[in-house]
Structure 1
């Protein structure tokens, strides 16, 4: 069981626009998709598609929280959820045919509520935990560090203060992208990840967009991504982490786990997001995914 714990869950509304986004102008939306959102649910979708056991954990509130529960259940994803005061946030993803990277507009979400978090942590099933996404508004960093320590070495996919807390709290893995690593160390490179690992002892799973990904720990491995037509890259990092954790839990070596992870991230971008993810497509890309020398 891989537990996908998301401190700030959301309803994700993906809106396909009828034309390129133009500020100050009217746009019509011929297609809308609403899903139980956040990095954790995306990760769980990929783990389940690949054949693993998983659950989505977090707090929800209000009408949006009830909608989140219903959408998660409709997908057949198991949820370990606690109710809080306030309203689960909505995140809007604006896409267009043949356009650039989608425009994302994210609300804040309910304020941090320690009693609900304590109840949630007490209910988590056994298994490795991935802590995914931004912190709830008002979360004290000391409380977040204490949560990470209580989880006994989770993988952490966050940014800014969340990544700093992960490094200070004995995370088993952090998953920054190049921009997040640059904010952490001053450089978004494999060499800077090596220095970070040498200093902290926390392995780094570095996502590099269309270039692929790298794992930097006691072992260093770099994998190049295949060339695919990108339909929607949102969720590709979540897909990559989910596939990596699934493969490692299944006993795969780091190079083989990283190859599957990059194939999954590429398949997500090709197919248009985690809701459309297909494990067969990811595995069909594996012959095009190669380990390359670190640079």
Structure 2
């Protein structure tokens, strides 16, 4: 049985989630087919796209908002639409970035990288208006960070988080670095990794004590906080109670994308009113399932639910 309420008139708004994509990318992957020939895969990518993809896998509806321009625009818009993701594309003069990976030997080797262009003042204003309006329509929004800080000004995130919270939008953020510094508050839930806490100087190591103290330091920015710890499971602060989750043992095919799958599951949980420990269990299962796959932000709810039954969640003392 699905952990989320059925899609009907009463809950339709709750499971429609807006996802902010400040840097949508094109991705090209070259892989080895079982017969020895080369396969080439074309996908829309970037953190927000991977989150939106997982929201669909969990049975939700994703509304992606971001800038699209240059030669990649037509391809990216078509790829997003082909996945079933609803798109609000903001036309910009600069081109979207992207990369080409060679995965024929089983690991990712970056062959080429195209940087994203910076938005001018008018494009930034159009993007802000679009994400604000679509967030108000959906009621729940996921904020993702920047690959490069030159794409849009950091105060974009400061203003947006405050405006969304002031208008009763539930805000789930997967951000770090200077973007996290720029957000003064207003987040319903912040998802961050233990590596990002250390890079920010909020934790000196990945011990439970250091992470719990770092979460205390971030309480001014978010009501609830989830910290992923790779193979060590995750820690969470829901309200005033701390929780720890440990996922089942699975063979990891590709670690990338697990955090984005967790973020998508947390957004679905917040949108549906799921309790903290259950939200953490679902998010841990979604992340664990994703590492068994080559695609980022992929997995099916019916399979993730089974894995969630193997996730251990217990309360811990700060």
Q: Is the 8 A contact 2:242 2:315 kept in 1?
A: no
| Alpha-carbon distance in structure 2 between the residues aligned to 1:132 and 1:198 | 19
* Residue 110 of structure 1: aligned partner: 117
Q: Is the 8 A contact 1:108 1:137 kept in 2?
A: no
* Residues 1:49 and 2:41 are matched in the alignment: no
Q: Is the 8 A contact 1:61 1:84 kept in 2?
A: yes
Where does 1:234-273 land on structure 2 (aligned, <5 Å)? Answer: 234-273=256-295
Question: Shift in Å at residue 107 of structure 1?
Answer: 3.8
| Alpha-carbon distance in structure 1 between the residues aligned to 2:303 and 2:196 | 29
* Residues 1:214 and 2:229 are matched in the alignment: no
* Residue 172 of structure 1: aligned partner: 188
Question: Shift in Å at residue 29 of structure 1?
Answer: 8.4
Question: Shift in Å at residue 175 of structure 1?
Answer: 1.5
Aligned-residue Cα RMSD (Å) equals: 2.5
Say which of 163, 185, 192 aligns to 2:180: 163
* Residue 22 of structure 1: aligned partner: none
* Residue 141 of structure 1: aligned partner: 154
* Residue 78 of structure 2: aligned partner: 70
* Residues 1:229 and 2:251 are matched in the alignment: yes
Scaled by the length of structure 1, the TM-score of the pair is 0.86
Question: Which structure shows the higher strand fraction?
Answer: 2
| Alpha-carbon distance in structure 1 between the residues aligned to 2:37 and 2:117 | 28
Gap regions ≥5 residues in structure 2: 1-15
Question: Which structure shows the higher helix fraction?
Answer: 1
* Residue 24 of structure 1: aligned partner: none
Say which of 17, 40, 44 aligns to 1:2: 17
| Alpha-carbon distance in structure 1 between the residues aligned to 2:75 and 2:49 | 14
Question: Shift in Å at residue 49 of structure 1?
Answer: 1.6
SS in structure 1 opposite 2:118? coil
Deviations 1:199-252 (A, max 9, x none): 555432111112222222423211101111111222111111101110222221
SS in structure 2 opposite 1:2? strand
**Paired residues, number:** 283
SS in structure 1 opposite 2:18? strand
Deviations 1:136-162 (A, max 9, x none): 525332333123322326322122101
Bigger CA drift: 31-40 or 252-261?
A: 31-40
